[in-house]
Amino acid sequence: MPDDEFRVRFERVVMPHLDAAYNLARWLTRDAHDAEDVVQEAMLRAYRYFRALRGASARPWLLTIVRRSFYEWLTANRPAEIDRNFDQDLLGSQADRTTVGPEQVALRRAENATLAEAIAALPVGFREVLILRELEELSYKEIAHIVDIPIGTVMSRLARARGLLQKSPLLESVRGSAAGGER
């Protein structure tokens, strides 16, 4: 394929997903500037490996690259954040599985900004599945592929992420008022 045609095809196929790429990076890095760095690096790679995309769907493919770029960036810049063993943690999580209670009422009542802070405070391994699911609206299968974990683990992390969110200390004030309110 001539270079020009290659470039046009890249623009048509990949560029429309730039916003999705930026969203994911933004939520992963929690910083607009860092997100730009991660996405720039990811776009370079996407262009370099564009031939490998073939018939596959461009959005999950690009998000996979964004995620990889993010983890490399994280290793270099904030290594402390990746030092968590999520799935180990999951084993002990059955006990605090939540039922319908004031926590969920709190979530409904929380201001978007407060809720966003609570999401941003989740450990990265839980945050990424939640973002891929609720913001990017990807299927479990696509998430499993992007994060490179089994579908069962996607399900567990998602359930756990939502549970953690309900119990987030950042939603404490809303929770207090909900517990004393109606319902």
Question: 55: Cβ–Cβ under 8 A, 6 or more apart, which residues?
Answer: none
Tokens 């008022």 sit on residue: 177
- CB nearer other proteins, residue 51 or residue 84: 51
- CB nearer other proteins, residue 63 or residue 110: 110
Q: Which segments of 52-123 does DSSP mark as H helices, in order?
A: 58-77, 86-91, 102-109, 112-120
Tell the smallest beta-carbon distance from residue 180 to other proteins (Å).
Answer: 19
- CB nearer other proteins, residue 25 or residue 74: 25
Tell the smallest beta-carbon distance from residue 80 to other proteins (Å).
Answer: 25
Helix and strand totals (H; E) in the chain = 11, 0
Dist CA 5 CA 17 (whole Å)? 19
Which spans of this chain sit near other proteins (rule: CB under 8 A)?
3-4, 6-7, 10-12, 15-16, 18-19, 22-23, 26-27, 32, 36, 39-40, 43-44, 47-51, 94, 97, 99-100, 104, 107-108, 110, 112-113, 115-116, 119, 130, 133-135, 137, 139-140, 151-152, 155-156, 158-159, 162, 165-166
Angle of helix 151-166 versus helix 112-120 axis, rounded to 10: 130
Using CB atoms within 10 A of its CB, is residue 142 exposed (0-12), middle (13-18) or buried (19+)? buried
Tell the smallest beta-carbon distance from residue 172 to other proteins (Å).
Answer: 16
Tell the smallest beta-carbon distance from residue 112 to other proteins (Å).
Answer: 4
